[in-house]
């Protein structure tokens, strides 16, 4: 019994540590010096820094979901069961998986918005919109982590790698010629 308590307290302590680290990274990403760098680059038409910020916020949200909300997939499947009470568990899981796929496709498509320099300059010019946009991107990362958890359960960390590689493809191919100043 005592060993079980120390294990759970160690896991809880580790989760708190991860949460504090993630909050520190978030605060660093939202810092004024980084905002000024991104804003100056956006005014020149260089969108690379803004895309990297978007990528970092998405990955931060995914890491948060994968480390802090370990049973989130079970909760989603139960919620689907509430909305579809007369269907089998198999149908509930299938609906949750299809929803997860839609979230991942939606995240990829929304991520392409930030390759438009005019959108970046507009968002930079409106500080409240900038904050809301960044929080929305972080929420997309949280949902992306949940989606990978629904699709690949214990292998969800591989989904994080897939997301990073896909984002790298955008940065390397779309932005390589005109994204950096």
Query: What pLDDT shows up at residue 110?
Result: 79
- Contact assessment for residue 175 and residue 53, using Cβ atoms and an 8 Å cutoff: no
Q: What is the pLDDT of residues 67-93, one digit of tens each?
A: 888 888 888 888 998 999 988 888 988
Q: How many domains does the chain have?
A: 1
* Domain limits for position 56: 4-177
Note the pLDDT tens digit of each residue in 94-117: 999 999 999 999 888 877 777 777
DSSP state of 46: -
SS3 annotation, 62-96: HHHHHHHCCCHHHHHHHHHHHHCCCCCHHHHHHHH
Within 10 Å of residue 92's Cβ, how many Cβ atoms?
A: 20
pLDDT tens, residue by residue, 149-173: 999 988 989 998 988 888 777 666 6
**CA distance to 49, 81, 86, 110, 177, per residue, from 143 (Å):** 23, 19, 26, 13, 31
In sign, the C-alpha dihedral spanning 40, 45, 47, 48 is negative
């Amino acid at each position: 019994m005592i060993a079980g308590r120390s294990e759970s307290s160690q896991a809880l302590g580790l989760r708190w540590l991860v949460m504090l680290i993630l909050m520190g990274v978030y605060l660093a990403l939202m810092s004024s010096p980084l905002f000024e760098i991104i804003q100056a680059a956006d005014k020149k038409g260089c969108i690379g820094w803004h895309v990297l910020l978007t990528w970092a916020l998405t990955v931060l949200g995914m890491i948060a979901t994968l480390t802090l909300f370990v049973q989130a997939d079970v909760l989603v499947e139960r919620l689907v069961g509430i909305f579809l009470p007369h269907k089998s568990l198999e149908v509930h899981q299938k609906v949750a998986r299809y929803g997860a796929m839609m979230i991942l496709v939606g995240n990829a498509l929304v991520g392409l918005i930030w390759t438009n320099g005019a959108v970046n300059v507009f968002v930079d010019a409106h500080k409240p919109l900038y904050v809301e946009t960044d929080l929305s991107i972080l929420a997309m990362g949280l949902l992306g982590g949940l989606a990978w958890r629904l699709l690949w359960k214990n292998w969800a960390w591989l989904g994080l790698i897939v997301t990073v590689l896909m984002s790298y493809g955008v940065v390397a191919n779309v932005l390589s010629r005109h994204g950096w100043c």
